[in-house]
Amino acid sequence: MAKLAIEHKAEYTDLICFHCQQAVEKYLKAYLVHLNIVFRKTHSLSYLLDLINEMDKISDQMYSMVEVLESYAVEMRYPDDWYEPTEHETREAYSIAIKIRKYILEKIAL
């Protein structure tokens, strides 16, 4: 979804960043399932990384990347918290999502 939006409707930066955060959230949760780690319902990427880190060391760089995406979680979609990410922020979010996707897929050997 984020790829299509960034290629064809780049003006929807809030939507693109939201989908990047959501994709990473789903990949991290998939990896937790792969590791047989139970987790609570959450949108916190750092919480998910903390759980993974208990079994598989997570780099500071990975924590820094998810920190960027944290602000694009569900909470951003409410009027009081809404803002329009810049094109640079949007491309950064997309790049981070791609890197984390690659990392997780390599970890679960898909």
pLDDT of 63-83, one tens digit each? 999 999 998 886 556 666 667
Contact 45, 66 (CB under 8 A): yes
End-to-end CA distance of the chain: 20
**pLDDT at 8 exceeding the cut of 50:** no
**pLDDT at 1 exceeding the cut of 60:** no
Q: Which of 69, 56, 60, 42 lies closest to 106, judged by CA? A: 56
Q: Count how many domains the chain has.
A: 1
Domain CATH for 100:
1.20.120.330
Using a 10 angstrom Cβ sphere, with 0-12 exposed, 13-18 middle and 19 or more buried, the burial of residue 98 is: middle
25-48 mean pLDDT: 96
Query: Which of 10-14, 42-46, 49-53 has the weakest average pLDDT?
Result: 10-14
**pLDDT at 7 exceeding the cut of 80:** no
**pLDDT at 28 exceeding the cut of 70:** yes
Q: Which domain holds residue 70?
A: 2-107
